[in-house]
Structure 1
Amino acid sequence: MLSPEILEYYERGGERERLSAGTGRLEFLRTWDLLSRALPPAPARVLDVGGATGAYAGPLARAGYAVHVIDPVPEHVAAAAGLDGVTAALGDARDLPEPDASADAVLLLGPLYHLPDRADRVAAWREAARVVRPGGVVAGAVISRFASLFDGVVKGYYADPEFVSIVERALRDGVHRNTGAVQRWFTSAYFHRPEEPAAEAAEAGLAEVRTVAVEGPVWMTGERLTEFLADPRLTGIMLDMLRRVEDEPSVLGASSHLLTIATRTAA
């Protein structure tokens, strides 16, 4: 289901702690804030597709949701299944082993940026629309087309000519192809232009589609971001300000991640 370099990347376990500090922590806090406003109230059933080791499934279960993770990586499934209140199974976002209208909400927080072909991404949205109940919510995360361009400056990756060529390809067609024997950067992925995920969700039959910036440009602030995250008061101010501009079109391209939220039309 996954190409070898993507599977190898996740089997190394790097995603286990990614959302716990720095830019990953900001991504988590903003995504959680968005989900808290979009999801139906607990104890709704949430299908977390591509949920990895349960970074969101665990907190959702603790908040009273019934959470089932579907992921293509066996190690992820085992880890998620070990969380209190979470069940998990192997599966592919394009062919979900779930009955029609069996979930109150579906999360696609991992699959979409590992499907380089548009038809496959639309298939994942369509499967989510199939298994969510009428009126239910589907939320999908993507990586911005320009994330690696900014990352090259923020983290100094442009010192390596190989990274430069990876970024040039991503800017041309969205395909971030990292097939090196030692993956020093993020693995192979598809990076969306801001207008693309909403169009894909709409083509899959979903309605009330909205795309928002997750981190905005704040993820590029380095040590200043760390200072804010260490101070609950400053963190609260930052999250409030980002909430105010999450719909601003001019901010979307500067965000590392985008979240598209849609609903299945009522029967």
Structure 2
Amino acid sequence: MNEIEAWYDTAYDEWQRLERHRIEFDITKRYLDDFIKGSSLDIFDIGGGPGRYAMYLAEKGHNVTLLDLSSKNIEVAKRKSFEKNITLKDYIHGNALDLDEFQLPFDVILLMGPLYHLTKEADRKKAVEGALRLLKPNGIMIASFISSYAPIQDTLSHLYPIESVQGLMDYLQNGENKDGKGFTTAYFAAPREAREFMNSHGLKELLFAGIENILGCKENEINSLDECEYRKWLDICYHLSRDENLLGTSQHLLYIGRKEML
């Protein structure tokens, strides 16, 4: 955890990442709009980085609590929300594996970051179970994963020199990324694995989507289009994101489920 926290505190600008990856940001927001219904909902954004999605939801009138492992991300969230005249309910420097102090049940919980970095299945389970404890019956859980195909897709997108073909292919068998390989310690999940993992927690699946799908390898070119053309491609991406034949073309996977009544 210290190494991951240090990565976001000193080596990485998470706020700017979603400036570069507009497709990921815009498609994810579209799904938030599709599934987060109601007004003034209590929302817990666990591992929400500098609060991009938290602020988007707060602008819609929801009561959003942000928690992140990185103290830098929390400070950025405070500064950016002040600049945008947006108020979050709370800004918490904390760990997705240590949620015992929280008791208030939430209508919606976002877990769109912690599962990227938990290389042990037991820790991934602990994070989901801890979040589910805080979710109201019939509440919505939104979780995201980095796909095990992401290193291949990223290399293709930028045409980086390939140091090792086998090294890229190994992510499909063992999704662990070690610190120093272009990113901090991370876990990249196969689409079927991510889906079955979330469903194993008793959630009713509402959506499983591959966010970037065929647009990922043309991201730079699509970002440079005028807004009208960009939105046309975004519509195509949105409609293809649920196509199971294309899940492996995405770098990010999105799961939305409902907590069933007991």
Give me the TM-score of the superposition, normalised by structure 2.
0.89
SS of equivalent to 2:34: helix
How far off is 1:237 after superposition?
Answer: 1.5
Q: How does 1:1-267 map to 2 (within 5 A)?
A: 2-4=1-3, 6-11=4-9, 12-21=11-20, 24-82=21-79, 83=81, 84-86=86-88, 87-96=90-99, 97-99=101-103, 102-159=105-162, 161=163, 167-177=168-178, 179-180=179-180, 185-228=182-225, 231-267=226-262
Distance 1:222 1:139 in 2: 24
Task: Name the amino acid aligned to 1:211.
Answer: F
Alpha-carbon contact 2:22-2:223 (below 8 Å) kept = no
Q: Which blocks of at least 5 consecutive residues in structure 2 are unaligned? A: none
RMSD over aligned CA atoms reads 1.9
Runs of 4+ in 1 over 4 A off after TM superposition: 163-166
Count of aligned pairs: 254
CA deviations over 1:224-252 (Å, ceiling 9, x no partner): 31233xx2222222222222222111111
Distance 1:114 1:166 in 2: 19
Alpha-carbon contact 2:27-2:211 (below 8 Å) kept = yes
Distance 1:215 1:156 in 2: 17
Alpha-carbon contact 2:153-2:250 (below 8 Å) kept = no
How far off is 1:202 after superposition?
Answer: 2.0
How far off is 1:16 after superposition?
Answer: 1.9
CA deviations over 1:37-57 (Å, ceiling 9, x no partner): 011323101100001111111
SS of equivalent to 1:195: helix
Q: How has the CA–CA distance of structure 1 residues 219 and 81 changed in structure 2, closer, same or farther, with 3 Å as cutoff?
A: same
CA deviations over 1:166-208 (Å, ceiling 9, x no partner): 534423211111x23xx6x232211110112222222222223
SS of equivalent to 2:144: strand
How far off is 1:210 after superposition?
Answer: 2.9
SS of equivalent to 2:221: helix
Distance 1:37 1:222 in 2: 24
How far off is 1:119 after superposition?
Answer: 1.6
Distance 2:32 2:131 in 1: 16
Alpha-carbon contact 2:172-2:190 (below 8 Å) kept = no
SS of equivalent to 2:249: coil
CA deviations over 1:44-90 (Å, ceiling 9, x no partner): 01100001111111121111111101111111122224423112112
Alpha-carbon contact 2:176-2:188 (below 8 Å) kept = yes
Alpha-carbon contact 2:202-2:259 (below 8 Å) kept = yes
Task: Name the amino acid aligned to 1:9.
Answer: W
Q: How has the CA–CA distance of structure 1 residues 209 and 197 changed in structure 2, closer, same or farther, with 3 Å as cutoff?
A: farther
Q: How has the CA–CA distance of structure 1 residues 223 and 207 changed in structure 2, closer, same or farther, with 3 Å as cutoff?
A: closer
Alpha-carbon contact 1:40-1:105 (below 8 Å) kept = no
Distance 1:250 1:3 in 2: 38
SS of equivalent to 1:56: helix
% identical aligned pairs: 29
SS of equivalent to 2:173: helix
